[in-house]
Amino acid sequence: MPQILIDHSPGIDFDATAFAKEVHQLIPEVIDTATADCKTLVRPAATHLVGDGSPGEAVVLVEIKILAGRSVEARSELSVRVTDLLRSHIRVPAAFCVQVSELERETYVFVHHAGH
């Protein structure tokens, strides 16, 4: 069920697919879910801006959406572990963050659509 969104600066030397695969392996170590349930979208940005716009620092933003009900400690551990993993994948100066947010079970709908 976890939905992972990875936004990053254009042209950054970053293997987002390899990173995402490792995130998919890591998540079930922290919360009750299966690797097969993880879904990731990688969204390279057309442009980015940090501070006053001076060149030189890339941006990587990772959001992990999980169903509500996990403890603050589990969500915090997931944030820390994904941040550490991100550090190991980013080799250039960068501003990055990881956010774990909850989806309300009452309003969340996921469908495997077979098409028409």
Instruction: Report if residue 111 sits inside a domain.
Output: no
Residues 6+ apart with CB under 8 A from 18: 89
Residue 96, pLDDT score: 92
Residue 33, pLDDT score: 96
Q: Is pTM beyond 0.85 here?
A: yes
Task: Identify the domain containing residue 64 by its residue range.
Answer: 3-103
Instruction: Report if residue 14 sits inside a domain.
Output: yes
Backbone angles phi, psi at 84, to 5 degrees: -60, -40
> What's the domain count of the chain?
1
The residue ranges of the chain whose pLDDT is under 50 are: none
Residue that has been written with the tokens 């501070």 in this structure: 51
Instruction: Report if residue 89 sits inside a domain.
Output: yes
**What's CA 7's distance to the chain center, in Å?**
8
Residue that has been written with the tokens 């774990």 in this structure: 100
Domain harbouring 98, CATH code: 3.30.429.10
Give 3's strand partners: 39, 65
Instruction: Report if residue 115 sits inside a domain.
Output: no
Residue 20, pLDDT score: 98
Residue 1, pLDDT score: 86
Report how far residue 14's alpha carbon sits from residue 96's, in angstroms, rounded to the nearest whole number.
13
